[in-house]
Structure formats: C-alpha cells, structure tokens
Amino acid sequence: MRYSILVLALLIASPLFSQSKKDLLGQVEALKKETEQLRSEIELLKHPKEIELADTLRKVSYGLGTLVATNLRMQGGDSLNLEALTDGIKDVYLSKALKMEQEEALAIVQVYMQEVADKKKLKLIEEGAAFLAENKTLPGVTTTDSGLQYKVISAGTGKSPLPTDNVTVHYTGKLIDGSVFDSSVARNEPVTFDVNGVIPGWTEALQLMHEGDKWTLYIPYPLAYGERGAGDQIPPYSTLIFEVELIKIN
C-alpha cells in the first residue's frame, strides 16, 4: 500500500516539476533577451548614432537646432537640462499635453535667463578687473587716466595721428583667456579707418602712438564694446587685448 501511494505521488509530482522547469527556462530566456536589449540601449547612450542629413528637411531641422543651441549658450543657457529641453520640443510638436502652461513657462524662463545673465556679467567684470589689476604691475605696462593700459613692443619715429586723421594699421585682437577673435595679420590685409571711428580705447591709444609703433593694448570693457559686446566672439563686458602696429597716417 505504501509503495502504491509513493508511486502515485511521484506520478503526480513529475508533470508539475516538468512544468516548473519549463517555466523557469522560459523566464531565463526572457531575462537574457531583456539584458541584451538593455546592453544595446546603454551602448547607444554611450555612442549615439550619428544622424544622417540625407535630405533638405533634415538639414534644415539640424541647422535650426544648431542656431537655437548657439543662441541659448550665448545667453548663458549652457547649463540647461538637455533631456527636459528636448522633451518640451517633442511635446509641442507631437501635440501632447504640456507639463506647464505657456505663461508659467515664460515667467520661469525669463527669471532664470536674467539670473544667468547677471551672474555671467558679474563674472566677466570681476575677471577683467582682476586681470587689469595684475597686468598694470608688470614691467613696461603704462596705465592712463582712463584706465587704458599699453606696452610698447617696438618704437617708431613717425608723427602721431589726430582724432580727425585716417590711419592704416595691422592688429590682432584677443580675449583675456588668449583666444583670438580677429586678426588683420592672419588675413595679411592691413585695415584703414578714421581715428575717431573706432572704440574709445583705440581712439585714445592711436593718438599716443607714432607711425611705426607696435604696442599691446589692454582695454577695459567701458573703453571697448561695453555692455553690448560684438558679434558671437566678444561677450558683453569683455576686457580686450590688442597688438597694434600703426603703419601710417593717410
């Protein structure tokens, strides 16, 4: 009797054990597939696929993206969360329910961008002031009453221009971090302009120079492009460095 019960128990348990093992193997296979999928997604995040600009619409779309991003970075938005930014664009384009109303979004963005602009302004002013404070202590550097600083590289023997004169010069312009934003020397094309038709720092310096002089000018932002800056390469409130050669008075 006991033997019959044992055999019956084994016969009942065997299909259950077989079924359990089959389910387990299926789950293992499913986990393997999920793991491979996750690995692929992680690899894509590490090495995102380059978008191919195969047609005009893609080129226009990519071009607009670069223009928007460049403008945002120039305004100090380089710390924005890229994922949230692209989600906002997608929600509008796909007509999804927005996570905040337009009025709320506008108010938040305006406050944030103003705070960023103020911080950036203060940082540039402080960096420029610190640079000029140290620079004026260096040998050969002269500081005028306006705050302009200059250093004579080589001296000429010609006459000095008047504010109403027209001059021809060679120059190289840099930010205080050393990055070059413009250079007539690199173009191998001297420039001609009126002495009183340029930034105040140049107008002052040129009247102190003589034909043949080559100076380095260190120009505080109020004597340069001030609060406006100039183009994409000269931010507002930038202290500038110019190497200037006064070739001739025309």
Active site residue 17: no
Q: Please indicate whether residue 181 is annotated as part of the active site.
A: yes
Residue where the block lists tokens 């004026």: 136
Amino acid at 159: K
The active-site residue out of 150, 171, 218, 237 is: 171
Q: What Å distances lie between residue 19 and 15, 16, 25, 26, 33, CA to CA?
A: 6, 5, 10, 11, 21
Catalytic residue among 181, 193, 194, 249: 181
Q: State both tokens at 144.
A: 């005028």
How far is residue 209's CA from residue 154's CA, in Å, rounded to a whole number? Answer: 11
Residue of 112, 182, 194, 249 marked catalytic: 182
Catalytic residue among 234, 241, 242, 247: 242
Catalytic residue, candidates 221, 225, 234, 241: 225
CA 131 vs. chain centroid, Å, equals 22
Is residue 213 annotated as a catalytic residue, yes or no?
Answer: no
Active site residue 199: yes
On whether the CB atoms of residues 124 and 235 are closer than 8 A, the answer is yes
Please spell the DSSP secondary structure of 164-179, one letter per residue. Answer: T-EEEEEEEEEETTS-
Please list the active-site residues. Answer: 171, 181-182, 199, 225, 242
